[in-house]
Structure 1
C-alpha cells in the first residue's frame, strides 16, 4: 500500500514516468507463489502495470522492483508524513527472505528452498519450528506495521489526503480489482463492495486490510492481522479474517441504528 501510494504520487507529479518499461530478468526476480515469480522468461513491464500486479495479486518481483526504484528512505519518510508511527520498511522482499534463509543456517532463501526439496520430515519439522524466530518475523527487527497504522493509511487514501488526488484515486481503483478475495471479502456479499490488499509471509503471517462499502454508501475501514505456526489451516484462518470483519461491521451498523 505504502509502495503503491509513493509510486502513484511520483506518477502524478511527473518525477517517475508510469509508462517507462523496465526489464525484469528471470534470474533476478524475487521468488513467490504467484505472478512473475512463476515465469521462466524475461519480462518487460511499465511501472504503472507493476503497481497493478503488486496490489491485485501481491506480486513479489513487481513489489521489489518498485521498492528499489523508490528507495526505503522515501517510503519511510512518507510513512512519517502520514503519521504511521509504527510502520518501517527495512528492505525489499528478497533481502527479507534471504535473512530467513541465513537465520536457518543457509546462504539465503534459494539455498534453503534447494535444501528443503530433499530434507527429511524431521529436518523439515525443525525448520518449521525455528521459522517464526527468524529476524524477518520479529517486528522489532525487520519491516513492520500495525493494524492501526494501516487503518490510518486507508483513511488518508479514501479521504484523498494521503497525496495527490489522482494518486489516491488510482490506488483506490486498483485495490477494488484485487483478485484474491478469500479473506475480508468472504464476510460480505453484493451489493456490499470490498477493496482490499492482502499480505502473507511463509505460512506464518496472514494479514489483510480493506474498505467495505455498504449498499447505502457507508464505508468501514478494516485491518486484520494474524500469526500462526507453519502448517496451520490456511482456509480456516482466511475465513476467520472475513468473519471477524463482518462481525465488527455488523456491530457498528447496529450501533448506528436508531433506538426503538
Structure 2
C-alpha cells in the first residue's frame, strides 16, 4: 500500500484532535487503491461498542458458511437484559426476534442487550477465530457487553454510575485499558471494514438457505448503514450524495467511530478514529465533532492523492 505523501494532512488531523481537547488515533484507506493515511494507526485501543462490527461480521460469515441461520428466532423474556440506554435494555415486555434483527439493533442503536444475545449465539471464541482468519491478530474480544458493564460497576465502587465523572474513579476502569478489555488497532478496524466492502468476509460461501456469500456481504454492508448516530463520523460529510456507514463506541472519556465513506464517483474509504478526552464530562460535542473533522481531512487527502497519481 502507498502512504499519502503529504505530512500536512497528518498535522491537521493532530491539530483537530488537540483543538477538541482529545488525543486521537486514526487510520484511513482507499478501499480500492490501498492508499492510506495514519496517525497512531497501530496503537492498541479499547474498542468499546466498535467491537460490535467484529461480532456482526462474524455472524454473517458463519451464516454464509451455513453454520448459523440468520432467521433463527430468539426468545427474549422481560427483564434480566444487559444494561444500556437504548433498544431492548429499555423495553419492558417480552420479545421474539431473529438473529439478523438483533444484529440490526446492535448496530443501529448500539443495543447492548441485542449484542449480548448475539455473543451468546455466536461465541467469543468464534469471533476471535474469525478475526484471526482475516489476519486481524491484534483484534481480540475479552468481554461481552454484560461483562464489560459489570467490570465498570465493580471498578466504579460504591459511587456507581455517578462516580464515572470523577477522574479518580475513571482512572480505575479496566475497560479503558486495551490490555484488559476488547481491543484492536485503527489499522485493523479499517482493514476489517475494507474486507467487508470488498466481499472478502463472506466470500465464496453459500448459506443454509442457498444464498451466495456475496448476498450475505451485501446484507452486512446494508446493516452497517443503519446506524442512527450522525454526530461523529458522518458530521464530516454533510452531503446528500455521500453515504457514511459506521459504528460508534463510547465509554467514559472514550469516543470512537469506524466506518466507510462512499462518494458518488465510486470512491470508498475505510476510516477508523479513536479518541480519549482529557475531560470526564459525559457531553462533549467538540470531541464528537473532532471525529468527523479528522475523518474529513483524511479522506480529502486520500482523494487529492488519487488525483495527483
Q: Could you say which TM-score interval applies, normalised by the shorter chain?
A: 0.7 to 0.9
Spell out the pairing of 1:102-117 with structure 2 (5 A cutoff).
102-105=154-157, 112-113=160-161, 116=162
d(CA) in 2 for partners of 1:88 and 1:125? 25
Structure 1 residues 256, 104: CA separation in 2 closer, same or farther (over 3 Å shift)? same
Spell out the pairing of 1:32-111 with structure 2 (5 A cutoff).
32-105=84-157
Flag the structure with higher helix content. 1
TM-score normalised according to structure 2 size: 0.74
Instruction: Specify the alignment match of 1:13 in structure 2.
Output: 65
Give the SS at the match of 2:157: coil
Does the 8 Å CA contact 2:156/2:164 hold for their aligned counterparts?
A: no
Instruction: Specify the alignment match of 1:239 in structure 2.
Output: 289
Instruction: Specify the alignment match of 2:179 in structure 1.
Output: 140
* 4+ residue segments displaced more than 3 Å: 124-128
The partner residue of 1:249 within 268, 284, 299 is: 299
Spell out the pairing of 1:194-233 with structure 2 (5 A cutoff).
194-201=244-251, 203-228=252-277, 229-231=279-281, 233=283
Does the 8 Å CA contact 1:100/1:131 hold for their aligned counterparts?
A: no
Deviation digits for residues 152-189 of structure 1 (CA, Å, limit 9, x no counterpart):
10111111112232332221111122211111111111
Does the 8 Å CA contact 2:141/2:182 hold for their aligned counterparts?
A: yes
TM-score normalised according to structure 1 size: 0.87
Give the SS at the match of 1:23: strand
Structure 1 residues 20, 258: CA separation in 2 closer, same or farther (over 3 Å shift)? closer
Structure 1 residues 77, 250: CA separation in 2 closer, same or farther (over 3 Å shift)? same
d(CA) in 1 for partners of 2:149 and 2:275? 19
d(CA) in 1 for partners of 2:171 and 2:103? 29
Structure 1: give runs of 5+ residues left out of the alignment.
117-123
Root mean square deviation of aligned Cα: 1.9
d(CA) in 2 for partners of 1:125 and 1:19? 39
The partner residue of 1:158 within 186, 197, 203 is: 197
Does the 8 Å CA contact 1:5/1:171 hold for their aligned counterparts?
A: yes
Structure 1 residues 159, 125: CA separation in 2 closer, same or farther (over 3 Å shift)? closer
Does the 8 Å CA contact 1:12/1:167 hold for their aligned counterparts?
A: yes
1:172 correspondence with 2:221? yes
d(CA) in 1 for partners of 2:232 and 2:248? 8
Deviation digits for residues 91-148 of structure 1 (CA, Å, limit 9, x no counterpart):
2111111111112335xxxx935xx4xxxxxxx4774532243112110111111111
Structure 2: give runs of 5+ residues left out of the alignment.
1-52, 203-212
How far the C-alpha of 1:252 sits from its partner, in A, is 1.8
Structure 1 residues 179, 125: CA separation in 2 closer, same or farther (over 3 Å shift)? closer
Give the SS at the match of 2:142: coil
- For CA contacts below 8 A with separation 6 or more, give which structure has more relative contact order: 2
Does the 8 Å CA contact 1:186/1:243 hold for their aligned counterparts?
A: yes
User: How many residues end up aligned between the 2 structures?
Assistant: 245
Instruction: Specify the alignment match of 2:79 in structure 1.
Output: 27
